[in-house]
Amino acid sequence: MNPLELIELTPGEFCLSLDAGTTSVDDVVEELGHVPNGYFWEGVAQWLIKTEAPALEGRFSFDPEGGMFCAYGADRSELESLALRMAVVANDPAHVRQLIASAEADGFEFDD
């Protein structure tokens, strides 16, 4: 799940987070005209849910900031599923290029 972190805040309340601006794909994200901040990574999460895991739709609350992506939920396994998908993007320049191109071709706008 690197660079994402999943913690239990209270019993049954989990937080998935990513320190924005610390991934190995930040340069690629910027090259493609985006800012690798928490809002961009929320867009990545939303796109992955839409295209790869529609069963996760509506299962999380998002609370990004400029310096951090956060998703909250009650089901650890669902957040782990999202984390694994996001980790692929956050660690693979080719994958982040493909994701951005696909999302933009579909009219998706990243809120970064």
Our count of domains for the chain comes to 1
**Residues near 12 by beta carbon (within 8 Å), at least 6 away in sequence:** 74
Residue 40, CA distances (Å) to 11, 31, 45, 83, 107 in order:
29, 14, 9, 15, 15
CB atoms within 10 A of CB 91: 14
- Which structural domain, as residue segments, surrounds residue 42? 5-105
From the list 85, 91, 102, the residue with the least C-alpha distance to 32 is 102
pLDDT tens across the length of the chain (112 residues) = 899 999 999 999 999 999 999 999 999 999 999 999 999 999 999 999 999 999 999 999 999 999 999 999 999 999 999 999 999 999 999 999 999 999 999 999 998 8
Residue 110 in any domain: the answer is: no
Residue 112 in any domain: the answer is: no
